[in-house]
């Protein structure tokens, strides 16, 4: 009798474990039922919407890899100065659609300012200033996309840099008529099928939208598209519409990769900055006055 009860108890434990794993696989979109080597589908919320974060009970952050910023590809190895420029053509069609530097429709003054920024590296990120657009999404140490449907808002939290966040309003509100220019601007969002579309205006001219300093003005209008193509990948696309700096609208993008188990941590920019040689006033960098750009 004792042997029977012990066997029954072990069988019940096994069935419970199998049930738990099956439930987790369903929450991941049925990944446990797919063939070996097949990518896990993007997780969804009970209402069918794509989940841009971790599944309940788990942790994780998004990070950008070697395919990420800057927003232009180099034409030559010397284009980006200190950066090791890879001029090979990407095999991925999405990455191949990222414009080369010669294809970015700069106005003459904006092209000159971009060249100066590449040369002198005065990136606001290293001075604890908020980043916008592609630069915020690709901030060091990981990014969180937090959907709060009961508030009809979505937040983008960055771990590094200014260690702050952007609010995306998901309640169909319009942009305010008289915005005060800011680093983040004003963002509204909507779902286009399984893609989150974010529309942002109201930027100041001090913000950088990538790590090399593509110039922008207060006329900047960005449209970002976040598509979680599978469990570990988001395809990030940005449309840059700024008639103050460019002669035409242009697009770029990169992939975000999932870091399972990772969490944001306290990051005090002033105390933990690892790029002291880029900071004004640290005594190791000769600061030159930038050329006047009309």
What's residue 272's pLDDT? 57
Residue 284 is assigned to a structural domain of this protein: no
pLDDT in tens, 168-181: 999 999 999 999 99
Whole-model pTM over 0.85: no
Ranges in the chain, pLDDT < 50 = 1-35, 290, 292-294
Buried b / exposed e along 2-25 (16+ C-beta atoms within 10 A):
eeeeeeeeeeeeeeeeeeeeeeee
What's residue 46's pLDDT? 94
Domain that holds residue 247: 60-278
What's residue 198's pLDDT? 98
What's residue 24's pLDDT? 37
Q: What is the radius of gyration, based on Cα positions, of the chain? A: 23
Beta strands (DSSP E) in 143-249 are 143-148, 153-158, 165-169, 186-192, 195-201, 221-230, 233-241
Which of 220, 272, 275 minimizes the C-alpha distance to 242?
Answer: 220
Cβ 144 vs Cβ 157: under 8 Å: yes
Q: Name the percent of the chain lying above pLDDT 70.
A: 77
Residue 265 is assigned to a structural domain of this protein: yes
pLDDT in tens, 54-111: 999 999 999 987 656 789 998 888 888 655 567 788 899 999 999 999 999 999 999 9
User: Distance (Å, rounded) from C-alpha 279 to C-alpha 122?
Assistant: 8
What's residue 275's pLDDT? 59
Q: How much is the mean pLDDT over the chain?
A: 82
Residue 241 is assigned to a structural domain of this protein: yes
Could you give the number of structural domains in the chain? 1
């Amino acid at each position: 009798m004792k042997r029977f009860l012990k066997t029954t108890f072990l069988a019940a434990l096994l069935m419970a474990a199998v049930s738990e794993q099956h439930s987790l696989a369903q929450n991941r979109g049925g990944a446990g039922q797919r063939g070996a080597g097949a990518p896990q589908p993007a997780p969804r919320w009970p209402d069918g919407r794509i989940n841009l974060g971790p599944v309940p009970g788990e942790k994780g952050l998004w990070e950008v890899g070697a395919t990420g910023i800057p927003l232009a590809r180099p034409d030559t190895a010397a284009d980006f100065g200190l950066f090791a420029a890879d001029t090979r053509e990407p095999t991925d069609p999405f990455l191949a659609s990222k414009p080369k530097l010669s294809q970015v429709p700069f106005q003459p003054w904006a092209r000159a300012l971009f060249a100066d920024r590449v040369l002198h590296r005065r990136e606001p990120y290293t001075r604890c200033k908020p980043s916008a657009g592609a630069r915020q999404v690709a901030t060091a140490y990981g990014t969180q996309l937090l959907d709060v449907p009961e508030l009809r808002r979505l937040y983008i939290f960055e771990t590094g840099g200014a260690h702050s966040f952007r609010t995306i309003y998901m309640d169909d509100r319009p942009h305010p008529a008289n915005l005060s220019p800011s680093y983040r601007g004003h963002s509204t969002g909507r779902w286009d099928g399984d893609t989150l579309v974010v529309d942002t205006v109201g930027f100041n001219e001090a913000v950088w939208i990538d790590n090399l300093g593509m110039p922008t003005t207060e006329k900047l209008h960005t449209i970002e598209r976040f598509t979680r193509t599978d469990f570990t990948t988001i395809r990030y696309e940005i449309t840059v519409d700024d008639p103050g700096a460019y002669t035409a609208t242009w697009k770029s993008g990169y992939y975000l990769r999932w870091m399972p188990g990772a969490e944001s941590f306290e990051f005090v920019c002033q105390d933990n900055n690892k790029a002291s040689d880029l900071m004004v006033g640290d005594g190791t960098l000769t600061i030159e006055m930038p050329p006047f750009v009309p």
